[in-house]
Amino acid sequence: MPKNRQIELTAQAGDEGDVSSESAANALVRPKTYALVSPPAAPPSHARPSAWRRRAWWLGLVAAAAGGGWLFLAQPWSAGIPTVIVEVVSAEPVTRVLAVNGRIAALHSVDVKSNVAGTLVAPLAEEGDLVEQGAVLARLDDTAQQAAVRQAEAALDQGLGTQLQAREALLRAESLASTISRVTLDDARRAVETADQEVDRLRAVVDQAQYQLTRYSIVAPMAGTILTRGAEPGQVVDLSTQLFSLADLRELVVETDIDESYATQVRPGMPALLQLTGDPRILQGAVSFVAPIVDAATGGLAVKIAFSEPQQAPVGLTVTANIVVDRREAALSAPRSSIDRSVTGPAVFVLDGGQARHTPVGIIDWPADRLIVTDGLRPGDVLIVDAADLVDGQAVKVADR
């Protein structure tokens, strides 16, 4: 009886139901693994196991299997272990970029103002006009100055008459030198010198008056395009009134400011990628100017970026600029979220044997989602990306992806 009972239990464990002794013998030679179960007490030799007892054993085995499956899947013993996201550290090409917004500006531009106060009577230039250097852009009322010019010219004419008379008198005196006194001859000569000096003075007055008259005409100091006009006919203007804004649109640049934190890392010649608002193209450029002084009021450093090829765009258009500060063919990097900024310096957590190991690192801090790691990590390290609230040596488990 004991031999027949063990065969029945193994058959029940294998979910095969009642079997004969022949089939049980066949089952023993197959390589199977069964759970060890203590056999129940043997029934009296004159009785077979009852049906309800066999059903009880069957239900018990099913319940045990279900409980084991639940323990395997739920793993309640690991409920307190945090789940983390990891990535494998590897050396890859890395480009460090400073992203800024700037605006289109002309490389050469000037604000045109009047050199004299007066009433604007004839604005000749309009916004958008292309003008040559020296072209008259506007005129001021010059009536009074024209009168001053005529008065100076009249005084010069009178001085020239006096000069002519003095010279004629000197010629007569020299012709009579033997019959007149030396004093008379010297007086004639001094009269000519005085007349010559007066004529020179009056000519200077005329030149000054004529030059002053030219200042009532506003001329273009350079060739370019009129961007703005700040006055209208009949308006009284002074030396501080901006009449026109003139720019040479053949050479455009991008003007921007960078924070002083990066002032020492941006230099002329650095390449840049530029995108004009509303234009899907990515244009090439390079830093052409870095101001030698930081604005104390804003903490900004003025930078200009030149286009590699001439562009046509309105002045003031917003441009997105990516200044390429550094390129490395093989560098280690880490997400900013993985950096633990402790009191001793930046560090990360590396997964080691199911535990989070606190590892100090050197980084290049930069306004980007990923930072270059200069030391502390090696290729192949398993980096914990979400390092918040972890401690050194803490047990962790990797999240399924």
Report the DSSP beta bridge partners of residue 99. Answer: 322
**What are the tens digits of pLDDT across the range 322-332?**
999 999 999 99
Crossing angle between the packed helical segments 51-74 and 2-13, to the nearest 10 degrees: 40
Token pair for 152 = 């100076």
pLDDT interval class at 50 (50, 70, 90):
low
What percentage of the chain reaches a pLDDT higher than 90?
69
| Residue of 218, 229, 220, 212 lying closest to 119 (CA atoms) | 218
DSSP letter (8 states) at residue 381: -
Token pair for 181 = 């006194």
Q: Region 120-140: what's the mean pLDDT?
A: 92
Selected residue with higher pLDDT from 397 and 10: 397
- Given a cut of 90, whether residue 10 has pLDDT beyond it is no
Sign of the CA dihedral running 335, 338, 342, 347: negative
Token pair for 38 = 């203590």
Give me the pLDDT at residue 276, please.
97
- Given a cut of 80, whether residue 16 has pLDDT beyond it is no
| Residue of 376, 398, 325 lying closest to 89 (CA atoms) | 376
Q: Alpha carbon 184 to chain centroid distance?
A: 87
Least confident of 45-54, 266-275, 287-296: 45-54
DSSP letter (8 states) at residue 133: T
Crossing angle between the packed helical segments 21-28 and 2-13, to the nearest 10 degrees: 70
Are 219 and 136 in contact by the 8 Å Cβ rule? The answer is yes
Sign of the CA dihedral running 154, 156, 161, 162: positive
Number of other residues whose CB lies within 10 A of the CB of residue 239? 9
Spans of all domains in the chain: 2-74, 83-93+329-398, 142-215
Q: What is the mean pLDDT of the chain?
A: 84
Per-residue CA distances from 105 to 304, 306, 316, 355 (Å): 9, 10, 6, 56
- Given a cut of 60, whether residue 7 has pLDDT beyond it is no
| Residue of 238, 277, 233 lying closest to 254 (CA atoms) | 277
Match domain 142-215 to its CATH number in 1.10.3470, 1.10.10, 1.25.40, 1.10.287.
1.10.287
Match domain 83-93+329-398 to its CATH number in 3.60.15.10, 2.60.40.10, 3.40.109.10, 2.40.420.20.
2.40.420.20
Give the span between the Cα atoms of 263 and 301, in whole angstroms.
7
Give me the pLDDT at residue 75, please.
53
Task: Tell me the residue type at 10.
Answer: T
Q: Region 77-91: what's the mean pLDDT?
A: 82
Cβ-based neighbours of 222, under 8 Å, separated by 6 or more: 108, 110, 133, 246, 248
- Given a cut of 60, whether residue 43 has pLDDT beyond it is no
Give me the pLDDT at residue 61, please.
65
* HEC letters along 327-379: EEEEEEEEEHHHCEEECCEEEEEEEECCEEEEEECEEECCCCCEEEEEECCCC
pLDDT interval class at 123 (50, 70, 90):
confident
**What are the tens digits of pLDDT across the range 56-67?**
666 666 666 665
- Given a cut of 60, whether residue 1 has pLDDT beyond it is no
Give the span between the Cα atoms of 196 and 203, in whole angstroms.
11
**What are the tens digits of pLDDT across the range 264-284?**
999 999 999 999 999 999 999
Burial level of 2, CB count in 10 A (0-12/13-18/19+)? exposed
Least confident of 191-205, 231-245, 341-355: 341-355
Are 384 and 338 in contact by the 8 Å Cβ rule? The answer is yes
Crossing angle between the packed helical segments 143-175 and 182-214, to the nearest 10 degrees: 160
Burial level of 383, CB count in 10 A (0-12/13-18/19+)? buried
Are 228 and 113 in contact by the 8 Å Cβ rule? The answer is no
Give me the pLDDT at residue 316, please.
95
Give me the pLDDT at residue 66, please.
61
Give the span between the Cα atoms of 122 and 140, in whole angstroms.
7
Per-residue CA distances from 398 to 1, 80, 85, 138, 386 (Å): 53, 13, 6, 76, 11
Backbone angles phi, psi at 328, to 5 degrees: -130, 130
